[in-house]
Structure 1
Amino acid sequence: MGGLGLAYSASICPETGFALFEPVHGSAPDIVGKGVAHPYATAMCLAMPLDHIGHADAAALLRSCLRQTQHTDAATPDLGGMGTTHAFIPK
């Protein structure tokens, strides 16, 4: 699955449909201020609610962009790259 920067989750109430989408990770005090935290899981937490509310095309586009970013110079050290958290965000 990868490191904690890649794990994301959804908690959806079957009765109401209310949902909480969040990355699954800890505080990572060892990398604070280094700019190497991988924001993939946080960004994926935007794609899941898009699916949940019926915007599958927008969710698919976001996922595609995220996959492409992982295979560029923006890849963070946990994926074998030299990118920073800031570089991961497309301009």
Structure 2
Amino acid sequence: MTKKKEEAQNVEIWADLVHIKDLIIAILICVIFTMGGYFIAPNKAPMPLFFGLGGAIIGFIISSIIIKPKRILKEIDETEENQK
């Protein structure tokens, strides 16, 4: 994949590049679990809030398992950096 095509599929969020497809998948997963938790909650005052927050946490965990980081970290010694 060329660099320009790869950049076209990314969007910058909080000074970091994010793949658009992964972002949309993560948002959908979190929204589905959050709203699911909200709607299955008992109709007592704080329960929809707690169930919705629980659904958001579950959606976050599932998203972080499904979507793997694409970043490659390379550790460079200070001596190697000075030689360049």
Q: TM-score range by the shorter chain?
A: 0.3 to 0.5
Q: Which has the larger radius of gyration?
A: 2
Relative to the length of structure 1, the TM-score reads: 0.30
Structure with more of its chain in helix, by fraction: 2
